[in-house]
Structure 1
Amino acid sequence: MGGASCDDEGGTAAIGIARWLSLAAAPTFAIMALLTAVVGGGPLDALCSAANASPVGGMVPMYLLMTAFHSAPWLKLIVRR
């Protein structure tokens, strides 16, 4: 009745986009870890390490942990093939 409707094509497209976005997370965090290790974290890295905010010990290990936590879609893709 005049409201927005979600057809099958839109739902299918949204699912496809969500799958590709889930695959983008792990490589993005891995690149961020590499760039932070090579270039350095900048002033915020010094702030985090000075405050002892993280028991992990810096931005690079944090990005590597985030890469590991977001690797599930990649593992599912590898297992399917």
Structure 2
Amino acid sequence: MSDIHSGIGSAENAAPRGIADWLCLAAAPTFALMALLSRLQGGDTAMPCMGASPLAGPILTGMPAMYLLMSAFHLAPWLRVISRR
């Protein structure tokens, strides 16, 4: 593999990689905010993504639940930042 594709010795790859590192930190808070906003707007009745489980209750159904799950799945970059401190 050439140096261009592997990124070895290339200062040009530093800027996009730094942007990507910061951009991945935006996912979890964005999805958490979307969960809050969709819950406040009553978006849980418009599209039930999860079945009508009696254990789930009104908070863990529909779009807010989906956004909370997406937020949880995107916590890895935040956990890496916290673990470095």
Structure 2 CA distance for aligned equivalents of residues 10 and 41 of structure 1: 44
3-state SS of the aligned residue for 1:40? coil
- Identify the structure with bigger relative contact order (alpha carbons < 8 Å, sequence gap 6+): 1
After superposition, residues 3-22 of structure 1 pair within 5 angstroms as 8-22=10-24
| 1:58 lines up with 2:54 in the alignment | no
3-state SS of the aligned residue for 1:65? helix
3-state SS of the aligned residue for 1:10? helix
- What is the CA distance between 1:38 and its match in structure 2? 1.0
List 4+ stretches of structure 1 deviating above 3 A. Answer: 53-56
Alignment RMSD: 2.2
3-state SS of the aligned residue for 2:61? coil
Map of 1:28 onto structure 2: 30
> What TM-score do the two structures reach when normalised by structure 1?
0.73
- What is the CA distance between 1:36 and its match in structure 2? 0.7
Relative to total residues, which structure has the larger helix share, 1 or 2? 1
Q: Specify every segment of 5 or more residues in structure 2 that has no aligned partner in the other structure, as ranges.
A: 1-6, 52-59
Structure 1 CA distance for aligned equivalents of residues 50 and 14 of structure 2: 40
Question: How much identity, in percent, do the aligned residues show?
Answer: 54
Structure 1 CA distance for aligned equivalents of residues 29 and 12 of structure 2: 27
- What is the CA distance between 1:40 and its match in structure 2? 2.5
Q: Say how many residue pairs are matched.
A: 70
Aligned AA for 2:13? G
| 1:78 lines up with 2:74 in the alignment | no
Q: Specify every segment of 5 or more residues in structure 1 that has no aligned partner in the other structure, as ranges.
A: 1-5
